[in-house]
A and B are shown apart, each in its own frame.
Chain A
Amino acid sequence: MPEIGIVLSTVVSGVLLGGMLALTALGLSIVLGVMRLVNLAHGDFLVVGAYAGFFFLKFTGVDPLVGLPVIALLLAALAVPLYHFLLAPLSTRGPEAQMMTMFAVSIILENVFVLAFSADTRTIERDYATLPLTFGSMTVPLIYVIGFSIAVALILMVHWLISRSGFGRDLRASSADAQAAEMLGVDVKRVQMLSFALGAACAGVGGTLIGAAFQFGPSSGGAYLLNSLAIVVLGGLGNVLGTLAGGLALGFLQSIGGLVLGDGYRDLVGMALFLLVLAFRPDGFLARARS
C-alpha cells in the first residue's frame, strides 16, 4: 500500500486533470447533443488549439493563457466554414456521412500538421507548466491547478450560456427534437453551426491547456478523442455540468486505476468504465431516469 502522500497527490492530481479533460470533452458533448454527430476530428481540433497556443507564444511572446480568447475565436472561425460547406449539406443523410466527413477532415488536418509544422513533438514552455505545488505531504503540478480553474470557469460560463440565454434555449430545443424545434421557429441550422463553433472553441482552449501541461504532435488527437467520448457518455450527451462531473469522475477513477494497477492501465480503466456506463446508463450517470 503506497504511503498516504502518494495516494493523496495522485488522486488530487487525477481529479484536477479530470477537470481539464472535462473541458476537452465539452466540445464533443455539445456537438453530440445538438447534432448527434460523433466528431471524429475532435482530437485534431484540440491539437489545432495546442499549435495555436504554441505559435501564439512564439510569435507574440505573450502567455498563451492570456491569448485563450484569441485561440477560441480562431477555432470558431475555422469551424464555421467547416460546418457550412461540409456538414450542413449532409444534415439530411444518415449519421455515417457526417461522421466520415469529419474523419476525412481529421486525416487532412494531421497531414497538414506534418507538412506545416513537421512531425516534431512540441510542448508549450512556460515556467508555471513545470512547477510543483506542495501542501504537506501532497504535491500536485501547478499547471493542473491553473488548468482546472480555467476549465471549471469556462464550463460554468458555457453552462450559463446554455441554460439562461436565448441561444441556449434554442440549443436545448434543437437537441431534444430538431423537427419540433424547426416547427416552432428555431433556426436549427444556425443553432447547429453556432454549437459546432462553440464546441470547436472549447476544444481549442482545452488543447492549449493540454499543450502546456503535456506535449503534442500531429497525431496526438486520436487518444484524446477516446478519452473525451468516455467523459461525454459518463456525463450525458449535451449535459454541460454532467461533462464536468464525468471528467472529475473519470480523472478520479483513472488515478485509482493507475495507483493500483499501474499507470499503463489508466486508459484501460477509462474504457472499461465507459463501456459499463454505456451498458447500464447510456444517458449518463446524471441523467434523470427515463420515465
Chain B
Amino acid sequence: MKTHSGLAEVGVLCGAFVLLWFAPVIADDYALQIAFRVLIYLSLAESWNLLAGSAGLVSLGTSCFVGLGAYVAFGLLNSLDMPLPLVLVCCALAGGALAALVSPALFRLRGLYFTVGTLALAELLRLTMVNVSAFGGASGIFLRQDPPPLPELFHYALVVALIASLSITACARTRVSVILRAVRDDEDAAAQMGVRPYRVKLGAFVLASALCAIAGGVQATKLGAIEPYGMFGLQWSIDVLAMVIIGGVGLRLGPLVGALLVVALGEALADYPEAHIAIAGVILIVLIRFAPRGVVGVVASLSSMMRRRAPA
C-alpha cells in the first residue's frame, strides 16, 4: 500500500513525463541528444540502485544486459520487422530470462563474490559474442532500416526512464522496500523472519536486468550499428557505477543527479580530448572521498544544516 509521499512521487514523475513529452517541440537537437543520453543512463542507474541500494547486490554486470538487449533488438528488427515497442518488450523478456537463468549460480555468491561473478558473466558473454560469428563476431551487425528520428527515440527513452523510475518508486514506497532492505542488511535474519531472500533478490535482479535490456535496445536502435566491444564492453558497468556513486548510492535522487552530472561532465571535458580521462578520474576520486553520500548527500546535509540555522 503506497504512502502519501509515494503517491506524490508518482505524481511528480508522471507530471515530469507529460511535460518532457513535449520537449521536442521547443528543444533543439543538442538538448534532445543530451536528454536522451541522460534518460538512458538514468534507467541503467535506477536499476543498479535497486539492486545495490535496496537489495545489497553490487553488480558489475550491467553491460551483460545492455548488450543482450541491443542484439535481441537488432535480431528482431532485422529479421522480423517487428514494431519497436514490441521489440523492446522482447528485450525486457530476454533480459529477465537471462537474469533468471543465471540467478541460481549467481546468488550462491554473497557480497564481494557476487560483484566478481557479475563481472565474469559480462566478460564471458562479450567473449562469446566476439568468437561466435553467427552473431556477427567482432564485426557486429547493422540495422537494415533507418533508425527512427530523434524525437521519437527521445520519447522511447523517456518511457523507459519512466518505467524505471516508477518501478523504483513502487519498490521504495511500499512494503517491498522494507523487505529489500531486510535482505540487504542481514539475509539470514530476514530468512528467519519469513522473508524468502532468494525470491526477493531474484525479483530485483530480473526487474533490473529487464530494464537494462530495454535501455540497451533503445540505445542500439539509435546507433544503427552494434558490435561486442561497444555493447558488451565494461564501460557500461563502470559508467553506471560511477553515476550512482557520484549521485549517491541508495538515495532516491542519486541516479538522476548522477546521470545528469556524468553527462554534463563528459560534455564539459570534451574540449580537453587528451587529458579528459585523467581529469574525470581525479574528479571521481575527489567526489568519492569528500562526498560519501554523493552529491545528493552533500546537498541534503547542506539543506539540513541550513534548516537548523533558520530561526525556529
Q: Which of B111, B124, B281, B292 contacts A104 (CB 8 A)?
A: B281
Interface residues of A, count at CB 8 A: 41
Q: Which of A94, A230, A274 contacts B249 (CB 8 A)?
A: A94
Assess whether A112 is interfacial by the CB under 8 Å rule.
Answer: yes
Of the candidate stretches B3-11, B112-120, B154-162, B303-311, the one touching chain A is B112-120
Give the nearest-CB partner of B115 in chain A: A38
CB neighbours of A274 from chain B (8 A): 120, 124
Give the nearest-CB partner of B121 in chain A: A275
Q: Which of B112, B242, B284, B289 contacts A36 (CB 8 A)?
A: B112
CB neighbours of A36 from chain B (8 A): 111-112
Question: Are A96 and B280 in touch, CB under 8 angstroms?
Answer: no
Of the candidate stretches A45-53, A130-138, A262-270, the one touching chain B is A262-270
What is the predominant secondary structure among interface residues of chain A facing chain B?
helix
Interface string of B259-292 (1 = CB under 8 A from A): 0000000000000001101101110110011001
Question: Are B278 and A100 in touch, CB under 8 angstroms?
Answer: no
Question: Are B285 and A229 in touch, CB under 8 angstroms?
Answer: no
Question: Are A96 and B241 in touch, CB under 8 angstroms?
Answer: yes
Give the nearest-CB partner of A92 in chain B: B292
Assess whether B52 is interfacial by the CB under 8 Å rule.
Answer: yes
**Do A272 and B124 form a contact, CB below 8 Å, given A105-B281, A111-B275?**
yes
CB neighbours of B119 from chain A (8 A): 38, 226, 229
CB neighbours of B281 from chain A (8 A): 104-108, 111
Assess whether A260 is interfacial by the CB under 8 Å rule.
Answer: no
Interface string of A80-95 (1 = CB under 8 A from B): 0000001001100111
Assess whether B245 is interfacial by the CB under 8 Å rule.
Answer: yes
State the Cβ distance, A291 to closest chain B Cβ, in Å: 17
Give the nearest-CB partner of A262 in chain B: B131
Assess whether A168 is interfacial by the CB under 8 Å rule.
Answer: no
Distance, CA A36 to CA B130, complexed state (A): 31
**Do A97 and B288 form a contact, CB below 8 Å, given A104-B281, A107-B278, A265-B131?**
yes
Give the nearest-CB partner of B285 in chain A: A104
State the Cβ distance, A54 to closest chain B Cβ, in Å: 21
Assess whether B108 is interfacial by the CB under 8 Å rule.
Answer: yes
**Do A107 and B111 form a contact, CB below 8 Å, given A271-B124, A275-B124, A279-B105?**
no
CB neighbours of B117 from chain A (8 A): 275, 278-279
Assess whether A101 is interfacial by the CB under 8 Å rule.
Answer: yes
Distance, CA A189 to CA B131, complexed state (A): 44
Question: Are A271 and B112 in touch, CB under 8 angstroms?
Answer: no
Q: Which of B113, B274, B277 contacts A282 (CB 8 A)?
A: B113
CB neighbours of B121 from chain A (8 A): 275
Chain B interface (Cβ < 8 Å from any Cβ of A): 52, 58, 105-106, 108-109, 111-113, 115-117, 119-121, 123-124, 127-128, 130-131, 234, 238, 241-242, 244-245, 249, 274-275, 277-278, 280-282, 284-285, 288-289, 292
Query: Which A-B residue pairs are the 3 nearest by beta carbons?
Result: A279-B105, A111-B278, A108-B281
Chain A interface (Cβ < 8 Å from any Cβ of B): 32, 36, 38, 86, 89-90, 93-97, 99-101, 103-108, 110-112, 115, 222, 226, 229-230, 233, 264-265, 267-268, 271-272, 274-275, 278-280, 282
